[in-house]
Every structure is written in structure tokens, then in C-alpha cells.
Structure 1
Amino acid sequence: MIRRAALRALTAAAVTAFLALPLAQGTPATAATATAATTINADDDNPFRWMELDGLRADFQFMCPAGHCTGFWSLVLTDDVARQKFEGRKFFVYAPATGEFSFFLDTDIAVRTVDHPGQVRLVDTDFMRSHPRVEVRYGDPEHPDQARVVASATTLM
């Protein structure tokens, strides 16, 4: 259990460091042009293609730190879920089988909770592969069993 928590903390730190590197170097990350998207077949590397997604969809994005474009996959809320009314609570990632939490990628920072549906972006594939079901919940993270399940990702065996 401690080993798994340490691995998740290390994963969060690595993702944050990777995405923050261009900012630390003083070079802002910018979105890639549409022509860059046509040269890379993003579907071949989708780490979520073997998952059953409910309320989530795989999203491929580019970041171009210092002019070197890098693509990455994440899970975001589907449009119909994101349009629902959410007020006064937090979104968080939860594995109901173990009671463990993961993180979202908010711009270039790994965070445990976010306020708005547009900020829901899951990138922790190790967490999702190590849990048969991961849920995006909305409510109080201190009481996850009382929070509303708004989306889920289930690993297909």
C-alpha cells in the first residue's frame, strides 16, 4: 500500500516536472498547429483504448515547449456530462475498490481536485491500469462515498 502510494506520488511529480519544464526554461508552451496533428497518427498510441469509458472520452493534445511538439493522451468529460450544472463542490478521481485517489492535470500542474468540468483531465495511466474501475466523482473528497459519480473508466480484462 505504501509502495503504491509512493509510486503514484512519483508519477504525479514526474508529470508535473515534464509539463513545467518549458515554463522553468522561460519558454511558454503553445498549442500545435493543425498541420502537426495530421503528421502523427494519435490513435495508434491511445493508452485508454482498452477501457470502457462512461462519461469520459480520450483526448489527444499537443504541447510545444521550446518549439518541440509533444503529444499526450488524457481522459476528459464528454460534452453532455460537462454541460451539466455543477456548483459548490469539487471533482476528484477515486478508485472505489481501494479507496485511493489520483490526480487531474490542470494546465501543467497535477492537482487532487478541480472546480469546473472543463478542468477534468486524467493522465495517470498507471493508476488507472492498477485499478479495475476509476471514477470521477463530484462532492466532498473527505466523504467520497457520499459524492456523485459523474464518469468512470473500467479496465477491460
Structure 2
Amino acid sequence: MAAVLALPLTQGAQAATPVTTAATPATINADDDNPFRWMELDGLRADFQHMCPAGRCVGFWSLVLTDDIAQHKFEGGKFFVYAPATGEFSFFLDTDIAVRTVDHPDQVRLVDTEFMRSHPRVEVRYGDPGHPGRARVVASATTLM
């Protein structure tokens, strides 16, 4: 199950607060492990953060919306992750909890690398997850082969 990959990140204290790389020491070379480096990103960017659930810090990569996309006005729907080729859904990481949808652009955080690698194209859509074909494509990640 795709959610299994995020379990080490999603278990633990719900009050855990991610810390962006801008606030971490320069000795961490996060670029070496970027699992998204071989993907074509449109409206998304790779982001390395630290999270400390239950006092144990973990560094992890995720995809977030680019600043220019996140600044758009979104009303009347939800953000969700969708693979158009198969009609499957993935999840976002909201603080330290895996969720299927989020309300705000700054909550868009994809961590499910297995889902992204197993689908040639993954899209962040905005609208009604019950009708993904009618939802607006906000951003995408395409696996380069």
C-alpha cells in the first residue's frame, strides 16, 4: 500500500513541525538523495525538510507547489493527487498525517515516491475528487525514462 512508505513520517506526535532546509545546518547535503531529480516537474518543486515526531528527527524530500502556483486564488474545491492513466489517487502529507485531500495550496506536500514512480504522470488537481475528470490540473510530475 502506498501509505506504508510514509508511515515512519506519519506516525508519532501530531504536533511535529516540519523545518525547511533554510533553517537547517549547511552540513546536510540533501541534494544527493533527491528522489525527484529525474522527474519533469510542472508547477511543483522538490523540497527537503526535517520533521521531529516523538523527538526523533527525520529528513525527507517532498514535492510542493511552486510559489507562483500557490499564489493563485483557489475556491470551491479540494487539492488531490491523481494518476490520469489509471484513475488512482495518492495522498499528501499534512504535518505528519497522510490525507487524501487538502484545502489550501500551502498544504500540498507529496511524499509517496513509490506511487509517483509507478505512474508515468501524476497530477495535483483542484476541484471535486469525486469527479476527477472535471477538476483543474494545477501541477504535474512526469517520470522521465
TM (norm. structure 2) is 0.90
Q: Give yes or no for the alignment of 1:53 onto 2:41.
A: yes
Change (3 A) 1:14 1:124: closer
- Where do 5+ consecutive residues of structure 2 fail to align? none
Taking the TM superposition and a 5 Å limit, the aligned residue runs for 1:24-43 are 29-30=16-17, 36-43=24-31
- Where do 5+ consecutive residues of structure 1 fail to align? 1-6
Give the CA RMSD over aligned residues: 2.0
Q: Give yes or no for the alignment of 1:80 onto 2:71.
A: no
CA deviation after TM superposition for structure 1 residue 18, in Å:
3.6
Q: Which has the higher strand share?
A: 2
Structure with higher Rg: it is 1
Q: Among the aligned pairs, what percent are the same residue? A: 78
Q: Give yes or no for the alignment of 1:19 onto 2:7.
A: no
Structure 1 match to 2:125? 137
Letter paired with 1:141: P
- Partner Cα separation in structure 1 for residue 131 and residue 17 of structure 2: 38
- Partner Cα separation in structure 2 for residue 149 and residue 72 of structure 1: 25
Q: Give yes or no for the alignment of 1:100 onto 2:88.
A: yes
- Partner Cα separation in structure 1 for residue 58 and residue 18 of structure 2: 10
1:120 is aligned, of 94, 108, 129, to 108
Comparing 30-39 with 132-141, greater Cα deviation is found at 30-39
- Partner Cα separation in structure 2 for residue 42 and residue 92 of structure 1: 27
